[in-house]
Chains A and B, each alone.
Chain A
Amino acid sequence: MALATSSPAANLYPWSMAPLRAALPSVSSARIHSCSFSTPLRSLRTGSSAKRSLRCFTGLTPTVTIFRTFSETAPTAYTSSDKHSCLLSWASLLRDKENVRYEDGFIATNNGSKFFAMRHGKRVPKLNRPPDQRRALIRGLTTQLLKHGRIKTTRPRASALRKYVDKMITLAKDGSLHKRRQALGFIYEKQIVHALFAEVQDRYGERNGGYTRIIRTLPRRGDNAPMAYIELV
C-alpha cells in the first residue's frame, strides 16, 4: 500500500481510516499499470490480498493518493458507525479542495465543474467539421437555398440549416440598414441579399416563422447518406 505515513497536516482528521482503507482497492503509485480491467476470476485465483495489486483503470486517479493527509492512528474496533463516518468524512474532504493536494494526473478545475464524456443535452450540430468550416458550410448552403429556392442535401445539414435561413428571413423582414448589413455579412452574394430584402414582405409578410420545409427522400447511392430536400415555403 502506498500510503505516506507522515504529513504535517495529518492530525486534522482524527477518524480511523483503517476500515475504510481496507475496504477500498489499493492503488499502487510505484507501478502504474496500463488501462486494463481486472477479470474477477483471475483476482479470485491470486493468493493473498495483501500483495495483490488490482490491475484497475488508473487513468483518472491521482498518482499519490489523497490518503496522505489522513493520520495513521491505531486501528480501533471496527464498527459500522465508524465506517459511515469515515465515508462521510472522505466525501467532505473531497469537497474541501484546499485540504486535498492534487498531484499531476488528476483533472482539477477551479469552479468545481465536472467533465462529461458524453454529449447529453448539447444541441449544436457539429456536422463533423471544425467550427470555421461548419460556419462556412452553413453560410454556403443558406446562400444556395435563398438563390435556388429548393436544394437537395443530407438530412443533418438540412435540419441544421433551418435556423439560419429563418434568421436571414427575419433580418429581411425587419428591413433596416443595420439588418441589411448583418445579412450581407452572412450571405456570400449581395444580389441575393438585396433581392431577399425586396421581396420578403410580399412572400412572408403574414407568416410568423417556419419559412422552410424539409422533405426526406431516398438515400444517396454512393454512401447511402439519407438525403432531404429543403425548400422555402
Chain B
Amino acid sequence: MTTCVDPLVVGGVIGDVIDLFVPMVTMSVHFGSKHINNGCEITPSLAANLPTVNISGRRFDRFTLVMTDPDAPSPSEPTLRELVHWVVVNIPGSTDASHGQELVPYMGPKPPLGIHRYVLVLFHQQSEFRAVAPPTTRANFSTRDFAVQCELGLPVAVAYFNSQKQPAARRR
C-alpha cells in the first residue's frame, strides 16, 4: 500500500520537477553532519553553506547536479517555479561535487513564505561538457528543459528536503 510508494512520488517531486526514473547511482548529501533523507526538514541556516555530495559510479563517468526549488516564492502560488540554486557539471564518478565545474554558483535556501522543497537531481553525462551556457536568471528554470537541452536524459539519482523560514529571534 502506501508503505511501498516512493517518497519522491508522495512528495510530488516526480511530476513537478522530474519524470519517473530508475535510480542508477547512489548519491548521499550532507549539510555539515546532517544527512539528507527524502523529505527531511533542514533549517536555512544549516543549508547556507555548500553541501558535500558523494556520488558513486565509475571514475571516467561525468555527472551533472542541479538543485532547484519548485515552490518559489510560495507553495500555494509557485509563480517562479523553479528557482535554480546550484548547477555543477562534469563531476567525475565516485567523488565529491567540488570536483566539478560550477555553472550556477550555490545559493542557500531562503524560503520567504511557507515550507519549500529543495530538490537535488543528478544526471549522467554522455561526454564531457565543453561550453554550456548558464541560465540567464535563476527564476522560472525548468529541469526538464535543461536536461533536453544538454541531452542528459532521465535523472539517475534524486534527493529532496524541506525548509522553511526560521522565526526571527524575539527581541526581549
Among B10, B12, B77, B115, contact of A151 (Cβ-Cβ < 8 Å): B115
A20 touches B (CB below 8 Å): no
A217-B41, A232-B76 are contacts. A148–B114 as well, Cβ < 8 Å? yes
Per the 8 Å Cβ criterion, residues 25-81 of B in contact with A are 39-41, 71, 74-78
Chain A's interface size range is 10 to 19
Complex Cα spacing A151 to B71, Å:
13
For this complex, 11 residue pairs linking A to B, each with C-beta atoms less than 8 Å apart, are: A147-B76, A148-B75, A148-B76, A149-B71, A149-B74, A149-B76, A150-B71, A152-B115, A215-B10, A215-B11, A217-B40
Residues of A whose CB lies within 8 Å of any CB of B are 146-152, 199, 213, 215, 217-218, 229, 231-233
Size of chain B's interface in residues, with CB distance under 8 A?
A: 18
Complex Cα spacing A45 to B76, Å:
74
Distance from A79 Cβ to chain B, minimum over Cβ atoms (Å) = 59
Q: Is A150 touching B115 in the complex (CB atoms < 8 A)?
A: yes
Q: Taking each of B10, B71, B75, which has the highest tally of chain A beta carbons within 10 Å of its own beta carbon?
A: B75
Q: Is A231 touching B40 in the complex (CB atoms < 8 A)?
A: no
Among A146, A149, A218, A233, contact of B40 (Cβ-Cβ < 8 Å): A218
Q: Considering the complex of A and B, which 3 residue pairs feature the smallest CB-CB distances, nearest first?
A: A149-B76, A149-B75, A148-B114
Please name all residues of chain B whose beta carbon is closer than 8 Å to the beta carbon of A213 when the two chains form the complex.
10, 12
Please name all residues of chain A whose beta carbon is closer than 8 Å to the beta carbon of B10 when the two chains form the complex.
213, 215
Residue of B nearest to A233 (CB): B12
Residue of A nearest to B10 (CB): A215
Q: Is B75 touching A231 in the complex (CB atoms < 8 A)?
A: yes
Q: Is B75 touching A232 in the complex (CB atoms < 8 A)?
A: yes
Q: Is A229 touching B162 in the complex (CB atoms < 8 A)?
A: yes
B150 touches A (CB below 8 Å): no
Q: Is B76 touching A229 in the complex (CB atoms < 8 A)?
A: no
Please name all residues of chain A whose beta carbon is closer than 8 Å to the beta carbon of B114 when the two chains form the complex.
148-151
Q: Taking each of A149, A199, A213, A218, which has the highest tally of chain B beta carbons within 10 Å of its own beta carbon?
A: A149
Q: How many A-B residue contacts, CB cutoff 8 Å? A: 47
Complex Cα spacing A231 to B13, Å:
13
Complex Cα spacing A217 to B42, Å:
13
Per the 8 Å Cβ criterion, residues 103-141 of B in contact with A are 113-115
B 131-163 to A, binary, CB cutoff 8 A, 1 in contact else 0: 000000000000000000000000000000010
Residue of A nearest to B74 (CB): A149
Complex Cα spacing A229 to B10, Å:
11
Residue of B nearest to A147 (CB): B76
Distance from B64 Cβ to chain A, minimum over Cβ atoms (Å) = 28
Please name all residues of chain B whose beta carbon is closer than 8 Å to the beta carbon of A148 when the two chains form the complex.
74-76, 113-115
Q: Is B39 touching A150 in the complex (CB atoms < 8 A)?
A: no
Distance from B10 Cβ to chain A, minimum over Cβ atoms (Å) = 6
Complex Cα spacing A148 to B41, Å:
17
Among B39, B76, B115, contact of A146 (Cβ-Cβ < 8 Å): B76
Complex Cα spacing A186 to B71, Å:
27
Q: Is A229 touching B115 in the complex (CB atoms < 8 A)?
A: yes
Q: Taking each of A148, A150, A151, which has the highest tally of chain B beta carbons within 10 Å of its own beta carbon?
A: A150
A215-B39, A229-B162 are contacts. A149–B11 as well, Cβ < 8 Å? no
Please name all residues of chain B whose beta carbon is closer than 8 Å to the beta carbon of A231 when the two chains form the complex.
12, 75, 115
Please name all residues of chain B whose beta carbon is closer than 8 Å to the beta carbon of A152 when the two chains form the complex.
41, 115, 164
Per the 8 Å Cβ criterion, residues 76-108 of B in contact with A are 76-78
